[in-house]
């Protein structure tokens, strides 16, 4: 089990750095006063009058106001008398009474159960508020045994044995739960009274006799939650002495059967033995000398005292204790615990998950980062999202360039990044864990599909932990029963766990993403924490310097914008991140200030509340299952990097009070520690630690520093066809520099290469002896990667491509030496595998591939010598098309060459072949050689069968033959290939022009 690192040691030496108490005042201890009883009596009288007296008065004094039979048409013409008016008024009063009575019943049920938020009676605003206040006043003096039940603040805290969970608690925000918090305050006072009976005796007798004293953990009061730090501060005079209390009570069985295993994990109703010099109220001495304490409390303290030798047996497991009464509704607190780490089975079926980094067995193997940005090397999910989005953007640019080309191809080659952008791209390639993203996405969607099949709602999930052994843990806001197979219960009822081996068996599920708001915050040991921002009941605040905060905000924004486990969402950035919009223009929007944000979010909050009510859903989670799941309830996540003013912070807190159920999340930067409405309070340090000081949560923060952020944005903007070198802002056209390949081959007889690799089709190498069989596959794959990147390949990129699950540096270096020896040297002694000034591996010009030759031939035909000579152009295009023998690396072994998923060559090669076929077809049609044009187009279609331009030219060339039967056969073949999607509109228009009767043939065939 990984052990948690906390900041407690630092706190002990630096009092100024000690975590601050959210509530400066200690828990109030007061008796129920005479005024409380008077209020309760008056509330009872008012309820009796309104609920019972009103209907009795109406029935006896006025009677039934409605007519006895169905009224006739003459009823509309009768004069309105005083009696008619009174009957109408009576009906209105009856409806008002019924509505108020329903409000009373709803509030009584919620108050007695203590679970969840009271339901809303439609259109009952003031009536329900009055009912809530009357019920709260009536029940205030009746809280007794309910106070002894652990509350909502214990979500996910039960642990087995010697587990070391790390917890980050979140106190409830002000707003719609204010009345419930008032009731909690009354409950706290009732419990405090029982302990306060012995306060005076505890002060004097303890000093005289040194008797053992005990303290009973108080339930939450408002936003205040008891902690060992506060207890030590009140009763020992120094909060840093909380460790003494912890050591006295560590691993002792508590009244609810669980044990204290972490100083930050305490529950209402637990008993703490105190050091001998403890002073102050709320302390209870040995129960025999505390007659005013209730018999139940006295017995609990007596039983607890007998565990003073810290016996380890009995009492039930922590998991069982936490699964019973310690979990209530999910609306009041949000906590996250480090799940129990289970060792992975030692079988090949469950290999360790890839972290996207080289795993070194010795210190020498670490190689630091070879100059690559460490922030992206250690963020596998963020890197995978950015890499996937960048690939999609580059493919989109290629397709847009192909469809929008006029007078030649634009953007045939995407720009090759240099400098920081090149380092960042390499870091993305090394750090990315696309397999982890795929498993996370399939696991979450599979869970949603299974719950939907069982007609069960999605549980509220506060966080997800991705363990080092590949297991996925979901931490729920409250117990939700047994999870559907293959999910299992984790360490307690609030953890659902899925083993990696089970996750790998999931298939793609046609269901909406259930938890799109999950985002990585950092790692603790080998576990990665993803917080579900949209489920937090309030605001998540982040303190620290502006630069450190912005680095965290940028990482969160970038991952949310590009992650692979969400469908749709809106990300609003305020105070930073205007430059991040190019990452996902359809997701990210930027607002200038708080007023714009408040206006926007107020309107959306009202709209979502109304939409949920109209749909009959209590939260967005229930709206993500069923028929409407793909069209509604996408999250809206707000990242406010600059601290709002005090007035704006209060407005934001009220706005965020109901955000958890509406699918709206708020992450707000702050310079201090107290932000109204903050459910999670975190701080980023200059050393890259993400801390929740009061709770001991310490993560290695995931960040995206300013320099890396600029480089990432540069990669995306350069790929944009509208702004890149080949777009509308660049030269464009056939003469644009974007058409120039990164590596041109001498295609004359004098330029014959020493080593020639055939990649387009089956993989063959000419000019080298076959390597040893046991290393042949790795050497061939490494050479293919280098051939596709003539600009150079970083050694860590090469090793992560060949060994996605990691490799030690000595194995990597040994392979590079074999590769150098295999490639050999040129006649002048120059090695064919060299290292450039940046440390990247490059191939000599004497090592070429057929893809290099294909690019060079097309370039020379369309922009070089072929421009001025028709004969040369025809010969070059024909030679280029002859090189095409099939798809890239057609016979590559299964399980290898997975790095090709990060490349765009799968989009480039078909476009290049299609452009070559189109150019050669045009060349032949200029001389009315339709058969030659058809031959060229058919050759190109074998590699690019989905290119609509080739089919258009084939239709025109076939039409030029003057054979209508042949054209009808081609049209029928094209319709058949289109399938259920139908013929594309432009193709349909072309068929109408060339063969108006083509639909008749389709109908006859059908």
Q: How much is the pLDDT for 278?
A: 87
How many whole angstroms from its chain centre is CA 52? Answer: 52
Q: How much is the pLDDT for 26?
A: 36
DSSP annotation of 832? S
Extract the tokens encoding 359: 């795993």
The DSSP code sequence of 241-266 is GHHHHHHHHTTPBPTTS-B--STT--
Going from the first residue of the chain to its last (1006 residues), give the mean pLDDT of each consecutive group of 10, the final group possibly shorter.
Answer: 37 37 35 68 84 82 66 63 76 84 81 56 74 74 35 31 34 33 40 40 39 78 67 83 87 82 74 86 64 73 74 38 35 59 42 42 39 88 94 84 52 75 92 92 92 89 88 90 92 90 86 91 89 88 92 96 91 92 92 90 89 81 65 83 88 87 91 80 90 74 94 89 49 44 82 91 91 85 94 92 87 92 93 92 94 92 89 92 89 86 86 92 92 93 88 92 89 83 86 85 56
Q: CB-based contacts of 741: which residues, under 8 Å, 6+ apart?
A: 412, 413, 852, 855, 856, 859
- Secondary structure (3-state) at 48: helix
Describe the crossing of helices 905-925 and 850-863 by its angle, rounded to 10 degrees: 40
844 neighbors 753 (Cβ within 8 angstroms): no
* Location of structure tokens 């509308």: 728
Q: How much is the pLDDT for 168?
A: 34
3-state helix, strand, coil in the chain (%, to 5): 50, 10, 40
Q: What are phi and psi of 426, to 5 degrees?
A: -65, -40
- Secondary structure (3-state) at 474: strand
- In terms of DSSP H, where are the helices of 4-81? 8-13, 34-48, 54-57
Pairing of strands 689-692, 678-684: antiparallel
CA distance 136 to 148: 19
From the number of C-beta atoms within 10 Å of its C-beta (0-12, 13-18, 19+), residue 267 rates as buried
Q: How much is the pLDDT for 304?
A: 85
Q: CB-based contacts of 713: which residues, under 8 Å, 6+ apart?
A: 579, 580, 582, 583
Q: How much is the pLDDT for 853?
A: 93
Describe the crossing of helices 419-431 and 706-719 by its angle, rounded to 10 degrees: 90
Q: How much is the pLDDT for 312?
A: 41
Q: Is the peptide bond before 801 cis (omega within 30 degrees of 0)?
A: no
Reading phi first (left if > 0) and then psi (alpha if -120 to 50, else beta), residue 844 is in beta
Q: How much is the pLDDT for 224?
A: 56
Q: How much is the pLDDT for 217?
A: 84
In the chain, count H helices and then E strands.
32, 24
Extract the tokens encoding 510: 């046609």
CA distance 433 to 359: 14
CA distance 217 to 235: 13
pTM of the model: 0.66
Extract the tokens encoding 684: 């980023």
Extract the tokens encoding 987: 């193709």
Describe the crossing of helices 964-978 and 948-960 by its angle, rounded to 10 degrees: 160
b/e map 801-817, b = 16+ CB within 10 Å:
bbbbebbbbeebeebbe
Q: CB-based contacts of 535: which residues, under 8 Å, 6+ apart?
A: 334, 460, 461, 462, 477, 515, 517, 660, 665
Extract the tokens encoding 865: 């010598």
Q: How much is the pLDDT for 610?
A: 86
The DSSP code sequence of 627-668 is TTTTTS---EEEEE-SPPPHHHHHHHHHHHTTHHHHTEEEEE
CA distance 707 to 419: 11
């Amino acid at each position: 089990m990984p052990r948690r690192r906390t900041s407690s040691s630092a706190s002990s030496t630096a009092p100024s750095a000690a975590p601050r108490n959210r509530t400066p005042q200690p828990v109030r201890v007061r008796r129920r006063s005479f005024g409380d009883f008077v209020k309760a009596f008056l509330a009872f009288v008012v309820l009796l009058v309104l609920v019972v007296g009103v209907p009795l008065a109406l029935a006896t004094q006025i009677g039934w106001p409605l007519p006895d039979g169905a009224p006739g048409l003459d009823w509309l013409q009768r004069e309105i008398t005083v009696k008619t008016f009174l009957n109408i008024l009576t009906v209105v009063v009856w409806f008002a009474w019924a509505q108020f009575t329903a409000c009373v019943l709803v509030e009584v049920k919620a108050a007695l159960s203590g679970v969840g938020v009271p339901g809303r009676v439609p259109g009952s605003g003031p009536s329900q508020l009055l009912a809530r206040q009357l019920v709260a006043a009536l029940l205030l003096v009746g809280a007794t045994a309910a106070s002894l039940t652990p509350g909502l603040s214990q979500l996910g805290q039960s642990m087995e044995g010697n587990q070391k969970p790390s917890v980050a608690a979140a106190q409830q925000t002000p707003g719609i739960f204010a009345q419930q918090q008032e009731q909690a305050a009354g409950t706290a006072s009732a419990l405090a009274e029982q302990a306060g009976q012995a306060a005076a005796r505890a002060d004097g007798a303890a000093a005289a006799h040194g008797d053992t004293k005990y303290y009973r953990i108080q339930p939450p009061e408002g936003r205040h939650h008891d902690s060992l730090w506060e207890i030590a501060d009140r009763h020992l005079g120094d909060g840093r002495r909380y460790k003494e209390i912890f050591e006295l009570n560590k691993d002792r069985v508590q009244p609810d059967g669980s044990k204290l295993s972490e100083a930050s994990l305490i529950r209402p109703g637990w008993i703490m033995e105190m050091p001998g010099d403890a002073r102050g109220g709320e302390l209870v001495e040995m129960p025999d000398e505390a007659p005013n304490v209730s018999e139940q409390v006295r017995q609990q303290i007596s039983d607890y005292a007998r565990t003073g030798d810290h016996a380890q047996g009995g009492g039930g497991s922590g998991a069982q204790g936490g699964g019973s009464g310690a979990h209530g509704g999910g609306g009041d607190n949000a906590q996250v615990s480090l799940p129990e780490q289970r060792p992975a089975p030692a079988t090949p079926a469950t290999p360790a998950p890839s972290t996207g980094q080289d795993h070194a067995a010795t210190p020498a193997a670490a190689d630091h980062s070879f100059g690559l940005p460490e922030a992206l090397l250690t963020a596998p999910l963020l890197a995978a999202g950015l890499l996937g989005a960048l690939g999609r953007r580059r493919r989109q640019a290629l397709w847009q360039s192909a469809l929008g080309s006029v007078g030649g191809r634009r953007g045939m080659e995407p720009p090759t990044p240099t400098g920081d952008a090149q380092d960042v791209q390499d870091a993305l390639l090394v750090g990315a864990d696309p397999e982890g993203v795929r498993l996370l996405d399939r696991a979450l969607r599979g869970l949603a599909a299974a719950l939907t099949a069982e007609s069960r709602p999605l549980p509220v999930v506060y966080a997800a932990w991705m363990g080092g052994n590949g297991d996925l843990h979901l931490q729920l806001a409250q117990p939700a029963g047994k999870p559907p197979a293959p999910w299992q219960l984790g360490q307690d009822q609030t953890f659902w766990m899925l083993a990696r081996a089970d996750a790998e068996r999931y298939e793609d599920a046609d269901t909406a993403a259930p938890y799109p708001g999950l985002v990585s915050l950092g790692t603790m040991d080998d576990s990665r924490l993803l917080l579900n921002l949209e489920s937090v009941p309030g605001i998540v605040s982040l303190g620290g310097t502006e630069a450190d905060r912005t680095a965290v905000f940028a990482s969160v924004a970038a991952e949310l914008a590009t992650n692979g486990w969400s469908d749709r969402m809106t990300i609003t950035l305020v105070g930073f991140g205007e430059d991040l919009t190019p990452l996902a223009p359809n997701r990210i929007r930027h607002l200038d200030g708080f007023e714009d944000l408040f206006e926007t979010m107020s309107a959306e909050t009202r709209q979502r509340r109304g939409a949920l009510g109209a749909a009959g859903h209590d939260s967005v989670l229930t709206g993500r299952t069923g028929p409407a799941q793909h069209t509604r309830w996408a999250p809206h996540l707000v990242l406010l990097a600059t601290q709002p003013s005090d007035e704006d912070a209060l407005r934001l807190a009220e706005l965020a009070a109901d955000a958890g159920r509406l699918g709206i999340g708020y992450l707000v930067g702050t310079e201090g520690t107290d932000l109204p409405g903050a459910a999670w309070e975190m701080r980023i340090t200059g050393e890259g630690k993400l801390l929740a000081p009061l709770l001991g949560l310490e993560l290695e923060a995931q960040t995206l520093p300013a320099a890396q952020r600029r480089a990432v944005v540069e990669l995306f903007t350069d790929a944009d066809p509208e702004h890149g070198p080949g777009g509308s802002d660049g030269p464009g056209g056939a003469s644009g520099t974007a058409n120039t390949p990164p590596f041109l081959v001498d295609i004359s007889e004098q330029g014959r290469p020493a080593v020639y690799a055939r990649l387009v089709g089956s993989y063959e190498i000419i000019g080298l002896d076959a390597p040893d069989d046991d290393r042949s596959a790795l050497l061939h794959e490494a050479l293919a990667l280098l051939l596709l990147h003539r600009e150079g390949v970083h050694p860590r990129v090469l090793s992560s491509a060949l060994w996605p699950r990691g490799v030690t540096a000595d194995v990597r270096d040994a392979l590079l030496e074999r590769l150098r020896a295999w490639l050999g040297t040129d006649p002048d002694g120059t090695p064919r595998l060299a290292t450039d000034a940046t440390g990247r591996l490059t191939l000599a010009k004497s090592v070429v591939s057929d893809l290099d030759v294909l690019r060079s031939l097309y370039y020379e035909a369309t922009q070089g010598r072929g421009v001025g000579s028709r004969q040369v152009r025809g010969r070059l295009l024909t030679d280029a098309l002859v090189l095409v023998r099939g798809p890239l690396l057609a016979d590559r072994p299964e399980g290898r060459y997975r790095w090709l998923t990060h490349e765009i060559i799968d989009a480039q090669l078909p476009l290049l072949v299609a452009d070559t076929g189109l150019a050669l077809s045009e060349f032949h049609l200029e001389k009315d050689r339709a058969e030659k044009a058809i031959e060229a187009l058919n050759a190109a279609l074998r590699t690019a069968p989905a290119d609509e331009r080739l089919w258009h030219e084939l239709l025109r060339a076939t039409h030029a033959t003057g054979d209508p039967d042949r054209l009808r056969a081609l049209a029928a073949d094209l319709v058949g290939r289109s399938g259920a999607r139908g013929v594309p509109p432009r193709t349909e228009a072309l068929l109408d022009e060339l063969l108006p009767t083509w639909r008749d043939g389709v109908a006859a065939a059908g």
